[in-house]
Amino acid sequence: MAQVTLKGNPVQVKGELPKAGAQAPAFSLVAGDLSDKSLKDFAGKRKVLNIFPSVDTPTCATSVRKFNAQANDLANTVVLCISADLPFAQARFCGAEGLENVKNLSTLRGVEFLQNYGVAIADGPLAGLAARAVVVLDEQDKVLHAELVGEIANEPNYEAALAVLK
């Protein structure tokens, strides 16, 4: 079990973040049309998994905006924004912000994703949600980069995540 903080307070996180060089765990999450989307649905593309608690928080919203701005410059890459938000809330946020370069996925029917990717917040006020993390995968779903952000209220290291795709 890893430990991160939320505004300086310790928070336990279950599971183990996949390490660089490892094969990414399979997953099934919920897309905006309520269909199930799996890792296989993005086969042959590089993937940036932007994982966070909720798009309704300032830091999470910022990460979606920043990855959206970078997405067009990333060849053969899809940015997947993964949170516990319902697909309706994810679509409402992206629609209001004019964000069209990211794909939202919900853990609504995919809670096993949280533990399989080492981001399951186990205690504190955000228990049951995802800790903030970024996992970058190549076309064969090998992990190129993984960061579990030590302070949930902080943004991920965008430069480090995107550098492995250049």
- Annotated catalytic residue 60: yes
Alpha helices in the chain (DSSP H): 58-71, 87-97, 112-116, 158-163
- Of the CA atoms within 13 Å of residue 51, those in its CB half-sphere come to 28
Nearest to 74 by CA among 38, 41, 39, 48: 48
- Give the tokens for residue 11: 């928070």
| DSSP codes of every residue in 113-135 | HHHHTT-EE-SSTTTTSBPPEEE
Whether residue 46 contacts residue 74, with contact meaning beta carbons closer than 8 Å, is answered with yes
Q: Which of 17, 51, 55, 60 is catalytic?
A: 60
Residues 6+ apart with CB under 8 A from 96: none
Which of the residues are catalytic? 60
